[in-house]
C-alpha cells in the first residue's frame, strides 16, 4: 500500500501541472499576430511616404532619373507587404498592381469600361522615358494610387490577422514570385523585377522573425539562411534578360518553400480548412500532388470515385452521345495526339466541312476557370453539354444520350455503381465525362522531373529556353509557370484572354486578321474583339497546328509570330491588341532554344489507354 502511494501521488501532481499550465505556444502565436500587424501598419505607412514623395516629384521635378527612382522605391515598399496585402485585400491589390489594360464590366448591359489604374499604368508614363508633357496624366494616376492606399490605411484598425492566414500568404508569395514576379509580369516596362523579388523576400523575413521561439529557433535559422542566400543570388549584377531564373527557382525558391513549410510545422500552425488551388500540405509547388483539381470543379462534382472516372472514360469514347451515333468526344480529342485531332479545324459531323476553331488539348484542361476559346462556359460539365448539342460537332443532347444509354446492357449497371442511382440522368452523364477529363493531368514532363531533382531531365538548350520563356521572350507573362496556361497564380481565380492579332494565313507582311471575333461574339464590348482565352502550352509539341484557327503548322512559326510583336509586326493594326507590339529581338538560336524547352513540357504518360469495350446495339458505330 505504501508503495502504491509513492507512485500515485507524483502522477497526480504531474496531471495537475499539465492541465493548469498556460498554453504558451498559443499565447506566443497570438503575440506574433499582433506584432505582425504592427509591422504591417508601419510598412504601409512607409509605402504612403514613398507615394507622397513620388507625387511631389511628378508635380515639381523635371529630372527623369529622380522621378523614375522614386517610382522604383515605392514599388519596393509595396513588394515588402505584397503577401499580406494580396491575401487580405485581393480586390485592392488588383487595383494597385493589375495589368495596365482597360476592361469591360461584363455584368453591365452597356458593357461599361473600367479604366486601368495602379502601378503599371503609372509605369507606362515613366518608362522607358518620362515625357514631362504627360505630367498632368501621370500626376492624376499617381494620385489614384495614393488614394487607394490611404483608404486601406484608414481601415487597418479593424483588420484581424491569424497565424494560419499569415503563413498561407507567405507560402503563396513564393509561388507569386516564381510565376509572376521574376517574369516581369508586373514590371513590364521598367524591368525592375529582380530588385522587387529581393524586396519581397525581405518583407517575408520581416514577418517571419516575429514567430521565432526557443523551440523553432533552429528551424528558423535554416529558413533565414535560405532567404539570405536567395537575396545574395538576386544581388548578382546581371540584367533582366541574363538572370538565371531556373537556378533561382530550383536552388533558392523551392528550398525556401521547403524550409518555410518545416518552420510552420515546427510552430504547430495548421493550414486553413478551405479548398485552395495548391496543396499546402505539400512542401513544394512542384510535387505531383501540388495542385487540387477539385478547386476548379463545381461543388457538386468534387471528390469523385474511381467508378465515376472509369464511367466517364467509357462515355468519352461513346458514339451514341452524338445525334447520329457516329461521333464521340474522342473523335476530335484523340489520346495519341494529346487529346487533339491534328487538324487546323475539326471536321464537321457530316464530314463535308469544318468547325469554326481548332480542337484544343484536354490534358490539364481542368486547371482553368473558363472553357472554350471564347470563355463562354465556366466548368467542364457545361462544356460537355455544349459540345454534344453543337450542330457541327455532335448534334445531339445529353438528355437524348441518357435515354439511349439506358437501353444498353452495360451502362445501367455502370451508372448504378458510379452514382448509386437506378436512373441514368443527363446530369450524371455530364459529371462522369467531366470527371474523366479532370483526371487527365500530365504534370510529370521532363521540366517537372528537373524541378524535382532529376537534373539530367532537360538539355542545355531546354534550360536556356526556359530562361528565355520566363524572361526575354516574355512568354511567362501570359502562360504562367508552372501550369503554363492563362490562369493567374497563386489564387488561380481568373483565366486570362489576349488579343494577339492572329492572321487568317501564315503571312509575315500585309497579313489579314482572322475574321473570328472571339469573346466579342459572346460578351460584346469593343475591347473583346479578337480576344481568345490563353491556353496551356504543356504538351504543345503534340498539338499542332496552332492558334485558335490552326494557322501555324510548326512551333517555329508560332515563335516567329511572337518575335515580330504579334499581329502588329505582320501588318495587322488593332487598337486593342494586348500583346506588346514591340519585337522581342530573339536570335535564331534563342528561338530554337525556346522551341526545345516547349518540347520539355510533354507528358501524356498513363493518359492514352482506351477503355474496355461497351456492348453496343446492332448498327451503332464504334470508334474505339
Pairing relationship of beta strands 497-499 and 103-104 according to DSSP bridges: unpaired
CATH of domain 446-599: 1.10.760.10
pLDDT of residue 100 exceeding 90: yes
Predicted confidence band of residue 106 (pLDDT cuts 50, 70, 90): confident
The Cα 584–Cα 193 span in angstroms is 18
Cell of 533: 482565352
Establish how many alpha carbons lie within 13 A of residue 145's alpha carbon, considering only the half-sphere containing its beta carbon: 31
Residue 540 contacts residue 493 (beta carbons within 8 Å): no
3-state secondary structure of 531: strand
DSSP 278: B
For the segment 157-182, the average pLDDT, to the nearest whole number, is 98
Instruction: Please spell the DSSP secondary structure of 234-293, one letter per residue.
Output: HTS---TTT--HHHHIIIIIHHHHHHHHHHHHHHT-PPPSS--SB-TTSS-TTSTT-B-G
Predicted confidence band of residue 613 (pLDDT cuts 50, 70, 90): low
**Helix residue spans in 287-332 (DSSP H):** 306-316
Quick one: which of 534, 491, 452 has its CA closest to 285? 452
Quick one: which of 364, 347, 623 has its CA closest to 492? 364
Residue in the structure block whose three cell numbers are 509580369: 185
C-beta contacts of 276-279 below 8 A and 24+ residues apart: 276/168, 277/367, 277/490, 277/491, 277/492, 278/172, 278/175, 278/490, 278/492
pLDDT of residue 19 exceeding 50: no
**Domain ranges (residues) in the chain:** 24-274, 294-438, 446-599
pTM: 0.93
For all residues of the chain together, what is the average pLDDT? 94
Cell of 66: 529622380
Digit-coded pLDDT (tens) for 497-510:
999 999 999 999 99
For the segment 387-409, the average pLDDT, to the nearest whole number, is 97
For the segment 463-484, the average pLDDT, to the nearest whole number, is 99
Quick one: which of 543, 541, 505 has its CA closest to 342? 543
Instruction: Please spell the DSSP secondary structure of 431-497, one letter per residue.
Output: HHHHHHHHT-----SHHHHHHTT-TTSS-HHHHHHHHHHHTTT-GGGTSBTTTTBSBPTTTT--B-E
Give percent of the chain above pLDDT 70: 94
Digit-coded pLDDT (tens) for 22-79:
344 667 778 999 999 999 999 999 999 999 999 999 999 999 999 999 999 999 999 9
Residue in the structure block whose three cell numbers are 513620388: 54
- Res 9: pLDDT: 40
The Cα 187–Cα 155 span in angstroms is 28
- Res 352: pLDDT: 93
pLDDT of residue 251 exceeding 50: yes
Name the least confident of 8-17, 96-105, 310-319.
Answer: 8-17
DSSP 412: H
DSSP 81: H
At CA 434, angle to CA 430 and CA 436, rounded to 5?
A: 125
The Cα 497–Cα 343 span in angstroms is 23
For the segment 243-267, the average pLDDT, to the nearest whole number, is 99
Cell of 448: 517537372
Digit-coded pLDDT (tens) for 152-161:
999 999 999 9
268 sits in which H/E element: none
- Res 25: pLDDT: 62
3-state secondary structure of 532: strand
3-state DSSP of 116-162: CCCHHHHHHHHCCCCCHHHHHHHHHHHHHHHHHHHHHHHCHHHCCCC
- Res 109: pLDDT: 75
Residue in the structure block whose three cell numbers are 489520346: 335
104 sits in which H/E element: strand 103-104
Q: Which residues pair with 377 in a beta bridge?
A: 371
Establish how many alpha carbons lie within 13 A of residue 1's alpha carbon, considering only the half-sphere containing its beta carbon: 0
DSSP 211: G
The Cα 534–Cα 488 span in angstroms is 11
Predicted confidence band of residue 7 (pLDDT cuts 50, 70, 90): very low
pLDDT of residue 222 exceeding 50: yes
Which one has a higher pLDDT value, 613 or 75?
A: 75
Predicted confidence band of residue 125 (pLDDT cuts 50, 70, 90): very high
Which one has a higher pLDDT value, 610 or 476?
A: 476
b (16+ CB within 10 A) / e for 296-320: bbeeebeebeebbbbbbbbbbbbbb
Distances (CA, A) of 371 to 56, 257, 549: 46, 31, 16
The Cα 473–Cα 610 span in angstroms is 38
Quick one: which of 473, 482, 492, 490 has its CA closest to 447? 482
CATH topology of domain 24-274: A middle domain of Talin 1 (1.20.1420)
Name the least confident of 106-120, 268-282, 375-389, 468-482.
Answer: 106-120
From the centroid of its chain, how far is CA 98?
15
pLDDT of residue 2 exceeding 90: no
Digit-coded pLDDT (tens) for 527-585:
999 999 999 999 999 999 999 999 999 999 999 999 999 999 999 999 999 999 999 99
Predicted confidence band of residue 340 (pLDDT cuts 50, 70, 90): very high
CATH topology of domain 294-438: Cytochrome Bc1 Complex; Chain D, domain 2 (1.10.760)
Omega within 30 of 0 (cis) for the link into 545: yes
pLDDT of residue 5 exceeding 90: no
Residue 417 contacts residue 308 (beta carbons within 8 Å): no
**Quick check: do 294-438 and 446-599 share a fold?**
yes
For the segment 608-616, the average pLDDT, to the nearest whole number, is 70
Residue 266 contacts residue 215 (beta carbons within 8 Å): yes
- Res 496: pLDDT: 97
Amino acid at each position: 500500500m505504501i508503495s502504491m502511494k509513492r507512485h500515485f501521488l507524483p502522477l497526480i501532481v504531474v496531471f495537475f501541472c499539465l492541465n493548469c499550465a498556460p498554453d504558451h505556444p498559443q499565447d506566443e502565436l497570438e503575440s506574433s499576430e499582433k506584432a505582425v500587424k504592427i509591422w504591417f501598419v508601419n510598412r504601409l505607412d512607409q509605402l504612403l511616404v514613398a507615394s507622397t514623395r513620388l507625387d511631389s516629384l511628378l508635380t515639381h521635378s523635371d529630372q527623369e532619373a529622380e522621378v523614375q527612382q522614386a517610382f522604383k522605391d515605392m514599388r519596393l515598399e509595396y513588394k515588402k507587404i505584397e503577401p499580406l496585402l494580396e491575401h487580405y485585400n485581393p480586390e485592392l491589390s488588383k487595383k494597385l498592381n493589375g495589368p495596365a489594360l482597360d476592361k469591360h464590366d461584363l455584368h453591365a448591359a452597356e458593357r461599361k469600361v473600367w479604366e486601368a489604374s495602379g502601378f503599371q499604368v503609372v509605369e507606362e508614363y515613366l518608362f522607358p522615358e518620362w515625357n514631362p508633357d504627360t505630367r498632368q496624366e501621370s500626376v492624376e494616376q499617381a494620385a489614384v494610387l495614393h488614394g487607394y492606399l490611404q483608404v486601406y490605411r484608414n481601415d487597418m484598425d479593424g483588420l484581424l490577422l491569424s497565424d494560419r492566414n499569415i503563413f498561407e500568404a507567405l507560402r503563396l508569395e513564393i509561388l507569386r514570385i516564381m510565376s509572376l514576379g521574376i517574369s516581369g509580369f508586373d514590371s513590364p516596362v521598367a524591368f525592375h523585377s529582380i530588385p522587387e523579388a529581393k524586396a519581397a523576400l525581405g518583407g517575408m523575413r520581416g514577418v517571419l522573425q516575429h514567430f521565432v521561439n526557443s523551440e523553432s529557433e533552429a528551424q528558423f535559422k535554416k529558413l533565414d539562411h535560405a532567404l539570405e542566400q536567395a537575396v545574395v543570388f538576386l544581388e548578382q549584377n546581371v540584367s533582366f534578360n541574363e538572370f538565371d531564373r531556373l537556378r533561382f527557382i530550383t536552388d533558392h525558391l523551392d528550398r525556401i518553400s521547403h524550409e518555410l513549410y518545416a518552420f510552420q510545422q515546427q510552430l504547430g500552425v495548421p493550414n486553413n480548412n478551405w479548398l485552395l488551388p495548391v496543396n499546402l500540405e505539400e512542401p513544394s509547388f512542384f510535387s505531383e500532388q501540388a495542385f487540387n483539381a477539385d478547386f476548379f470543379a463545381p461543388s457538386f462534382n468534387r471528390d469523385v470515385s474511381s467508378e465515376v472516372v472509369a464511367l466517364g472514360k467509357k462515355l468519352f469514347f461513346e458514339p451514341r452521345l452524338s445525334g447520329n451515333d457516329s461521333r464521340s468526344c474522342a473523335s476530335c480529342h484523340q489520346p495519341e495526339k494529346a487529346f487533339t485531332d491534328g487538324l487546323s479545324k475539326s471536321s464537321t459531323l457530316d464530314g463535308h466541312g469544318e468547325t469554326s476553331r481548332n480542337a484544343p488539348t484536354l490534358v490539364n484542361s481542368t486547371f482553368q476557370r473558363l472553357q472554350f476559346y471564347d470563355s463562354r462556359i465556366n466548368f467542364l460539365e457545361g462544356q460537355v453539354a455544349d459540345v454534344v448539342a453543337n450542330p457541327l460537332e455532335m448534334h445531339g443532347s445529353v438528355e437524348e444520350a441518357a435515354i439511349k444509354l439506358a437501353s444498353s446492357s452495360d451502362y445501367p449497371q455502370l451508372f448504378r455503381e458510379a452514382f448509386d442511382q437506378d436512373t441514368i440522368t443527363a446530369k450524371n452523364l455530364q459529371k462522369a465525362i467531366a470527371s474523366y477529363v479532370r483526371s487527365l493531368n500530365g504534370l510529370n514532363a521532363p521540366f517537372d522531373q528537373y524541378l524535382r531533382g532529376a537534373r539530367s531531365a532537360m538539355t542545355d538548350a531546354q534550360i536556356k529556353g526556359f530562361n528565355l520563356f520566363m524572361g526575354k521572350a516574355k512568354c511567362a507573362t501570359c502562360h504562367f509557370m508552372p501550369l503554363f496556361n492563362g490562369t493567374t497564380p497563386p489564387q488561380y481565380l481568373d483565366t486570362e484572354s489576349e488579343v494577339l492579332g492572329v492572321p487568317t494565313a501564315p503571312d509575315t507582311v500585309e497579313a489579314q486578321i482572322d475574321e473570328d471575333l472571339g469573346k466579342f461574339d459572346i460578351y460584346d464590348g469593343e475591347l473583346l474583339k479578337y480576344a481568345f482565352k490563353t491556353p496551356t502550352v504543356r504538351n504543345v509539341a503534340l498539338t499542332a497546328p496552332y492558334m485558335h484557327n490552326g494557322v501555324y503548322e510548326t512551333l517555329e512559326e508560332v515563335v516567329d509570330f511572337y518575335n515580330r510583336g504579334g499581329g502588329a509586326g505582320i501588318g495587322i493594326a488593332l487598337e486593342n491588341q494586348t500583346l506588346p507590339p514591340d519585337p522581342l529581338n530573339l536570335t535564331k538560336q534563342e528561338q530554337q532554344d525556346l522551341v526545345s524547352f516547349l518540347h520539355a513540357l510533354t507528358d501524356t504518360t498513363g493518359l492514352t489507354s482506351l477503355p474496355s469495350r461497351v456492348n453496343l446495339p446492332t448498327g451503332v458505330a464504334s470508334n474505339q
